[in-house]
Structure 1
Amino acid sequence: MRDSTTSRAETLLLIAFLMALGATLGALFIGEVLGQTPCILCWYQRIAMFPLVPILAVGLWRGDATARIYALPLVLTGLAVALWHSGLYAGLIPEGVSPCTQDGPSCSDRTQMTILGLPIPYLSLGCFMAIALCLNVMKGKPS
C-alpha cells in the first residue's frame, strides 16, 4: 500500500514534468512553426527549461522524487532569467541594461514577445514559478 506522501510527490513530479514538456513544446512551436526568432533571454530560458523534460521524465520513470535535486538549479536559474525578462518587458528594468542587441529581436518588443495575446516573458515566469512550487512542495520518495 502506498502512503499519501508518496502519491502526492509522484503527482507533483508529474505536474512539473507536464509543465516543462508543455513549455518546451510551446517554445519549439513558437520558433519552428511560427518562425519567431527567440531573443537572447528566451534562449537562456530555453537552456534552463529543455533539460527539465528528460530529468523529470527519468525521475517519474524510476519513481524517484530526488530528481527534484537535479531539476531545482535549472528551475531557479530559469526563474531568475524569466523574472529579469519580465521586468524588461514590463518596463520596470531600463532598456539600456537589456542583453538584446541590434542583431536579434528585442527582449521587450510587445509585438514579437506575445503569443495569442499573452506575453511570452510572463508565460515563462509563470511556468518556472509553478514548476519550482511543485518541486519545493514535494516530500518523500516514491517507490
Structure 2
Amino acid sequence: MGFCFSKYDNTEESEDESEFSGGNIHIITSNDVWEQKLAEAKKDNKIVIVNFSASWCDPCRNVAPYYSELSEKHPSLMFLSIDVDDLNEFSSQWDIKATPTFFFLKNGQQYDKLVGANRAELDKKIASALVQ
C-alpha cells in the first residue's frame, strides 16, 4: 500500500505509459476521449473505474499490473487510466491530491473513491461495483 503526494517530485521525463496500459484498460488522453468513454459506459450500463496515476509514482507502478489484471477479469466494468501529468487541469478538476486515486462512477457520477495502492481495498470496492 502507498501513495504519492506531489505530482512534481520527478525531474526526469515521463516514462513509457505501457506499464499503465494493457489488459482492458482505456488510456484517457483528452477530455473528448473521456466524454466518449463515459457515454459508452452509460450506453452499456457499465460501472467505470478510473485510475489517476503518474509514471514517476512507485505505488502507481506497483499497482498497475494488478489493475490490468482486474480489467481482464471483470469485462463487465470499464477501466480507465489517466496520467495526472498529461491531463493536469483535468486531474485538478477531480481534486487529485495523491496518486494513485481510484474513482468509481455510475452513470457518470462518482459514488466511491480509493486513495492509495491498497489491493485488498480495491478488490472490495470492485466486488461492490459488480453488484451495483
Q: When the two structures are superposed, what TM-score results if normalisation uses the length of structure 1?
A: 0.27
In proportion to residue count, which structure has more helix?
1
Look at both structures and tell me which one has the larger radius of gyration over its CA atoms: 1
TM-score for the superposition, normalised by structure 2: 0.29
